[in-house]
Amino acid sequence: MMRLLHYFKDRYFFYLFALLIMGVFYFILYLYNALIDAIDYALILSSAILVFYFLVDFYKYNKKTKQIDYLLRLNDVSVVDLPKTSLLIEQQYQQLFLKVNQLHIALENQNDQDYHDMLDYFTLWVHQIKTPISALRLLIQSQECSQNELLMQVLRIEQYVDMVLHYIKIDHMASDLRLRRYQLNDIVNDVVKKQATFFIQKKLKLQYEPIDLMILSDEKWISFVIEQVLSNALKYTKEGTISIYVKDETLYIEDSGIGIKEEDLPRLFEKGFTGYNGRIDKKASGLGLYLCKTILDNLGHHIELHSKLGKGTVVSINFHVDDLKVK
């Protein structure tokens, strides 16, 4: 009964129009003094056709709504399961449903990929952070540990924690931005002071002169990028010098470290790519340079990396501001 009421609700305009036409037709015949029998015959015939149309149309309507009710009770539905139709508007609705379904599947796949990426990263991160914690415990238990050795392990823990915090926030970076003009020298100075213990412990030289450059950026995010680049330079430089200098609007961080294989260079900014050096250092996550590139793109800056195996690496960060791409 409810389905019949819904049917007439959906089709009321058609039946109202049909009855109106029949009434007009009957009235015109009456005005022209047509035979009553002829008028009645025409009315009965029109009514019979309308009733026949109703029976056929309601049968199709009832069948289609039952199919859709059944599909609504299912957990998994595709476009091929929908009732076939010859109506253009229903075909367009089905195409729209297909498009929405494809977007939903793509979103689910992306969420699933993001979840597994996050899980993989946190699994690796747990192993990474266990190393300095274990080293710290051994140093504390030892009676001959130096303050610098303790500080190095604490700094490593801080770096791992900082990395994971930025990794979590990277997709919502826009809500965490504070864009201002900063003196680049102050930012670099703070990063160098933070890494000073590693320079001392590894006996590396630092070639650095005060920088006279104002930049439009976010202090926290750009500090993280510079720290990541400098941390990589320290990690892969066993002896020699690390140089920090500026030309035009570009900051250069150059090291005399082990360098990078030429075939690895095109993929260095890919998420999760560790390359040859990363395979040697089994604790590498392959996220440091990916985060740097993503952050700098969002800030409208540009990063490049040039390296030769056995001769060192040069990372350049251009602070000329292009259009911000933060979402």
- 233-285 per-position pLDDT tens digit: 998 899 999 999 999 889 999 999 999 988 999 998 988 787 766 555 655 66
What proportion of the chain, given as a percentage, has pLDDT over 90?
Answer: 26
pLDDT, tens digit (0-9, with 9 covering 90-100), for 50-89: 999 999 988 888 888 888 888 778 777 776 677 777 777 7
pLDDT (average), residues 102-123 = 81
Place of tokens 């040069």: 314
324 C-beta neighbours (distance < 10 Å), count: 15
pLDDT (average), residues 148-162 = 78
Length reported for the chain: 327
Residues 234, 152: contact at Cβ < 8 Å?
Answer: no
Residue 305: its pLDDT value, please? 94
Residue 91: its pLDDT value, please? 78
117-139 burial string, b = 16+ CB within 10 Å, else e?
eeeebeebbeebbeebeebbeeb
Residues 252, 244: contact at Cβ < 8 Å?
Answer: yes
318 or 144: which leads in pLDDT: 318
CB-facing half-sphere around the CA of 68: CA atoms within 13 A? 12
Tokens (6 digits) for 116: 């597994």
Q: What is residue 224's DSSP assignment?
A: H
Residues 18, 77: contact at Cβ < 8 Å?
Answer: no
Domain limits, the chain: 2-77, 108-318
Place of tokens 């914690």: 133
The residue among 52, 48, 64, 54 whose CA lies nearest residue 12 is 54
For domain 108-318, the CATH architecture is: 2-Layer Sandwich (3.30)
Tokens (6 digits) for 198: 């590693």
C-alpha distances in Å from residue 285, one per residue of 119, 163, 218, 271 = 12, 10, 25, 9
Residue 79: its pLDDT value, please? 64
Query: Dihedral through CA 113, CA 115, CA 117, CA 119, nearest 10?
Result: -150
Residues 305, 315: contact at Cβ < 8 Å?
Answer: yes
